[in-house]
């Protein structure tokens, strides 16, 4: 009988992939900020609005991923982990 891999069992049901997807979407949002500020600087307000809408869309998708992974990874308020003051 092969030995069991306790480590893989520990994380077999953890939502690692949704957490990775959340991080990828956050990165997408930050990349869009460059285009957003270029449009602001150029006074291209139609482009500003379009990029803003795109950022909001990606952020909404990231929030959906965070809800999935938050049930396991985000049990504690982040301020409890960092020692800062919680406002909620």
Is the residue at 54 inside a domain? yes
Give yes or no for residue 76 having a pLDDT over 60. no
Q: What is the pTM of this model?
A: 0.60
Is the residue at 78 inside a domain? yes
Is the residue at 32 inside a domain? yes
Give yes or no for residue 79 having a pLDDT over 90. no
Residue-averaged pLDDT of the chain: 75
The better pLDDT of the pair 45, 17 is held by: 45
Percent of the chain with pLDDT over 70: 59
How many structural domains comprise the chain? Answer: 1
Report the sign of the C-alpha dihedral through residues 11, 81, 87, 23, in that order.
Answer: negative
Q: Which domain holds residue 32?
A: 15-82
* Mean pLDDT value of segment 39-64: 92
> What are all long-range contacts of 47-55, with beta carbons under 8 Å and residues at least 24 apart?
55/29
Report the sign of the C-alpha dihedral through residues 55, 29, 68, 81, in that order.
Answer: negative
Per-residue confidence (pLDDT) for residue 13, from 0 to 100: 55
Is the residue at 8 inside a domain? no
- Would you give the end-to-end CA distance of the chain in angstroms? 51
């Amino acid at each position: 009988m092969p030995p069991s891999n306790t480590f893989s069992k520990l994380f077999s049901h953890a939502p690692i992939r949704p957490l990775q997807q959340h991080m990828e979407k956050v990165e997408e949002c930050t990349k869009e900020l460059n285009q957003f500020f270029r449009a602001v600087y150029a006074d291209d307000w139609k482009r500003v609005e379009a990029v803003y809408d795109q950022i909001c869309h990606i952020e909404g998708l990231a929030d959906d991923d965070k809800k999935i992974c938050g049930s396991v990874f985000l049990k504690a308020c982040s301020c409890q982990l960092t020692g800062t003051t919680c406002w909620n």
